[in-house]
Amino acid sequence: MTSSPPRAPARLDAITVLRALADPVRLDLVRQLSRSDSAIACGRFDTRVAKNTLSHHFKILREAGIIATHREGGQSLNVLRTDELDAAFPGLLTAVLSGSEG
Protein backbone atom coordinates (compact mmCIF):
# COMPACT_ATOMS: atom_id res chain seq x y z
CA MET A 1 0.00 0.00 0.00
CA THR A 2 1.39 3.38 -0.93
CA SER A 3 0.84 6.25 1.43
CA SER A 4 -1.35 9.06 0.21
CA PRO A 5 0.50 12.24 -0.69
CA PRO A 6 0.79 14.73 2.16
CA ARG A 7 -1.99 17.23 2.02
CA ALA A 8 -1.17 20.90 2.05
CA PRO A 9 -3.89 23.53 1.86
CA ALA A 10 -4.07 25.62 -1.31
CA ARG A 11 -4.17 28.75 0.80
CA LEU A 12 -2.88 29.16 4.33
CA ASP A 13 -5.57 30.21 6.76
CA ALA A 14 -4.65 32.47 9.68
CA ILE A 15 -6.90 30.78 12.23
CA THR A 16 -5.81 27.27 11.21
CA VAL A 17 -2.13 28.23 11.31
CA LEU A 18 -2.49 29.96 14.70
CA ARG A 19 -4.38 26.97 16.13
CA ALA A 20 -1.73 24.60 14.87
CA LEU A 21 1.05 26.69 16.42
CA ALA A 22 -0.81 27.21 19.71
CA ASP A 23 0.39 23.99 21.27
CA PRO A 24 3.65 23.48 23.17
CA VAL A 25 4.50 20.16 21.50
CA ARG A 26 3.84 21.45 17.99
CA LEU A 27 5.63 24.73 18.64
CA ASP A 28 8.61 22.71 19.82
CA LEU A 29 8.56 20.56 16.66
CA VAL A 30 8.41 23.72 14.55
CA ARG A 31 11.30 25.20 16.50
CA GLN A 32 13.42 22.08 15.95
CA LEU A 33 12.67 22.22 12.23
CA SER A 34 13.50 25.93 12.10
CA ARG A 35 16.92 25.22 13.61
CA SER A 36 17.71 22.31 11.34
CA ASP A 37 19.57 22.70 8.05
CA SER A 38 17.93 19.60 6.68
CA ALA A 39 14.67 17.65 6.84
CA ILE A 40 14.00 15.74 10.06
CA ALA A 41 12.61 12.21 10.06
CA CYS A 42 9.50 11.71 12.19
CA GLY A 43 11.38 9.47 14.58
CA ARG A 44 14.31 11.85 15.04
CA PHE A 45 12.74 14.75 16.87
CA ASP A 46 13.92 15.45 20.39
CA THR A 47 10.67 14.83 22.25
CA ARG A 48 9.20 12.55 24.89
CA VAL A 49 5.81 12.50 23.21
CA ALA A 50 4.54 9.02 22.25
CA LYS A 51 4.72 8.10 18.58
CA ASN A 52 0.94 8.02 18.08
CA THR A 53 0.48 11.42 19.66
CA LEU A 54 3.35 12.75 17.61
CA SER A 55 1.70 11.52 14.40
CA HIS A 56 -1.40 13.47 15.38
CA HIS A 57 0.67 16.63 15.87
CA PHE A 58 2.45 16.16 12.53
CA LYS A 59 -0.93 15.76 10.84
CA ILE A 60 -2.20 19.03 12.28
CA LEU A 61 0.97 20.88 11.26
CA ARG A 62 0.80 19.34 7.79
CA GLU A 63 -2.86 20.12 7.24
CA ALA A 64 -2.31 23.70 8.37
CA GLY A 65 0.41 23.97 5.74
CA ILE A 66 3.16 24.59 8.28
CA ILE A 67 5.22 21.52 7.46
CA ALA A 68 5.58 19.26 4.46
CA THR A 69 6.39 15.58 4.73
CA HIS A 70 7.87 13.38 2.03
CA ARG A 71 8.95 9.76 1.97
CA GLU A 72 12.58 9.01 1.31
CA GLY A 73 14.51 5.81 1.96
CA GLY A 74 11.74 4.37 4.09
CA GLN A 75 11.56 7.47 6.26
CA SER A 76 9.04 10.27 6.55
CA LEU A 77 11.04 13.47 6.30
CA ASN A 78 9.66 16.78 7.51
CA VAL A 79 10.51 20.30 6.50
CA LEU A 80 9.08 23.67 7.49
CA ARG A 81 7.19 25.38 4.65
CA THR A 82 9.07 28.57 5.44
CA ASP A 83 8.58 30.24 2.06
CA GLU A 84 4.84 29.59 1.99
CA LEU A 85 4.43 30.75 5.59
CA ASP A 86 6.50 33.88 5.03
CA ALA A 87 4.51 34.68 1.92
CA ALA A 88 1.16 34.29 3.68
CA PHE A 89 2.11 35.76 7.06
CA PRO A 90 5.31 37.75 6.74
CA GLY A 91 7.24 37.62 9.99
CA LEU A 92 4.87 35.27 11.80
CA LEU A 93 7.24 32.35 12.18
CA THR A 94 10.10 34.54 13.35
CA ALA A 95 7.83 36.36 15.78
CA VAL A 96 6.41 33.19 17.27
CA LEU A 97 9.74 31.42 17.55
CA SER A 98 11.74 34.35 18.88
CA GLY A 99 9.09 35.34 21.37
CA SER A 100 8.60 31.91 22.85
CA GLU A 101 12.31 31.38 23.33
CA GLY A 102 13.62 30.38 26.77
Site residues, a copy of itself (CB under 8 A): 12-15, 18-19, 21-24, 27, 88-92, 94-96, 98-100
Minimum CB separation of residue 70 from a copy of itself in Å reads 25
Minimum CB separation of residue 61 from a copy of itself in Å reads 13
CA atoms within 13 A on the CB side of 78: 28
CA distances from 21 to 27, 31, 62 (A): 5, 10, 11
For a copy of itself, which is the closer residue by CB, 40 or 93? Answer: 93
AA letter at 2: T
For a copy of itself, which is the closer residue by CB, 31 or 56? Answer: 31
For a copy of itself, which is the closer residue by CB, 24 or 73? Answer: 24
Instruction: DSSP letter for 101, please.
Output: -
Minimum CB separation of residue 10 from a copy of itself in Å reads 15
For a copy of itself, which is the closer residue by CB, 14 or 44? Answer: 14
Minimum CB separation of residue 15 from a copy of itself in Å reads 6
DSSP labels, 22-74:
SSHHHHHHHHHHHH-SS-EEGGGSS--S-HHHHHHHHHHHHHTTSEEEEEETT
